[in-house]
Structure 1
Amino acid sequence: MLKRLMTSRESLLCAAIILLLVLISTRFPAFAAPSNLARVFNDTSPLILLAIGQMIVILTKCIDLSVAANLALTGMVVAMINVAAPGLPVPVIIAVAIGLGTFLGMINGLLVWKLAIPPIVVTLGTMTIFRGIIFVISDGKWVNSHEISDPFKAFTRAEFLGLPTMSWIALAAVGLFSVVMSRTTLGRAFYAAGGNPHAATYAGINVGQSQFWAFTISGALAGLTGYLWVSRYAVAYVDLAGGFELDVVAACVIGGVAIMGGVGTVAGAMLGALFLGVIKNALPVVDISPFWQLAISGGAIIIAVALNAQASREKGRIILKPTEPSA
């Protein structure tokens, strides 16, 4: 048990993050200060939320490249609603964001499930469509900080026990989906759909429907993150979170999520996101241009996939065990 714990991807990632923090703090001790680590976690919260949704999608042998565009469209919509009706309560705004994100995720899921279109084709298409819709509804204009109401901006910045609201939302999502993935029929269906689709079908699991719900959850989390992102940075524009989908996929595969489906954990996705978050926040400290982040994310995907292929040949959880031949 101890050996398995020491060699698990989560344990190795924790060790890698600690080592990274130690290396950075030897040159810049303030980086490892608790207050700064809390800021790093808060900055990484959007990536954690999207990585959880992406992990569930990848588990089912799919991929969602539209998460950043979903985030941007939802963020623009709620920002424009706030400008038009600044007195609208924040809980209503959040409900609209989650509802719109869920609807956009359902579109992806239905196209994959009912029309059997490859997920990468579907989400590449919807990614472009969502970005186009942002341009149409905003006429290419920005929604800036002075146009956004104070309550809209204050929600994510309010602190409780030393952590901003956005950090608590990310922690709550990690806890909730850890239970969903390990303790519910829906969570087991996600693993089964990606681990062995044929066996899952024989076990009575609708693989296409499982993929639909995976995209729906991913869309809901992207919608929520859309509001949180705009609230935190107080700006909305067409290219909001441009290229962020690469970081989301990188966080998943670094966290041990098998790109071929069936293998992965919520904790792994969170740690993969934190690993990238520490690197992103450390780049300016060590005088490396933040524009290298995309190159680092792309390289991390290749390395992580190679390590996953070499480290384990197992394909997810065993859903159906072969029966012993009778004597």
Structure 2
Amino acid sequence: MSQRRFDLPPLDTLEAFEAAARHLSFTRAGDELALTQSAISRQIKLLEDRLGVVLFRRLHRSLELTDDGRVLERATSTALEQLDRACIELRRADRVRPIVVATTPGFAGLWLIPRISGFSASRPHVDVRISAGNALSNLARDGVDVAIRYLPVDGVPAGALRLFGDVVFPVCSPRLLRDPARPLAEPDHLRQHVLLLAEPDGGNHLQDWPLWLHAMKLPELRPASVLHFSSYDQLIHAAIAGQGVALGKSPLIDRFLKEKKLVTPFRREVASARSYYMLLSEAGAAKPEVREFADWLTEEARLSETAAAPSAVARKRAPTGPRVRPRAPD
């Protein structure tokens, strides 16, 4: 016959003792635990009989812990507090289920974060945790449920789902465009301006100006100067602040064009050979909340790409000229 590992009194007697020791009153302990004073007294008597010690000195209208009572009070208080914290965490874990989403800083800051409240508002039981960085994640090792990356067609892993592609084109602040000392009516005018560059955002080499300038037949163009940033979202906010001219990426920046925080000085764009792809980890694919997020993300991407398509067609058909118009909203 196996022996029990723990030889403990019933939990309700320990809970009654802890409350009585804290209040030094059976009556107040009963009020806290929704029991009568006599019920608390009986629980304490059962505990004393089980342990074979006296825990309280019953004085006239007051209680006092004995030495044995003080020893048990310290141990019981600590144990019950730890149990309580553990139970709270378990209940919280049952109510709120986390999703870890790894993506690039540019996609996170410019596209995902502005939309994520729409997902969270309708699904308060899901806690989306965004991990933004340029290093490719090992989904299983890093505990990632969903990865979103900007990849060429020949670099897409098995099981990845395409969200949308993009095009790139110069953008700047309306204030910079109005500078009479430095016109910005045609690509060659970039010689007079600061160009903004960012570190590759998940392998996005279209953020480098040489590719776009080559397409414009200006491979030797040298700007007035350049400013470098560690991420694409930083670069775009610098462009909004009038720090220089950036290569905008649709649909990532479409909301800034809609709000007229950015404008397109000339309608010249280059289609990217890359697209944004979503990949679920094996563990993530088994979670209902991750599948909910993946369905939401897919629909948001569809709406984003659909909204961007008409404006791209309009730009291609529009005549090129010095008049500047903001790109159509998403």
TM-score normalised according to structure 2 size:
0.24
Relative contact order (alpha carbons < 8 A, sep ≥ 6): 1 or 2 greater?
1
Higher CA-based Rg: 2
**Higher normalized helix content (fraction of residues):** 1
TM-score normalised according to structure 1 size:
0.24
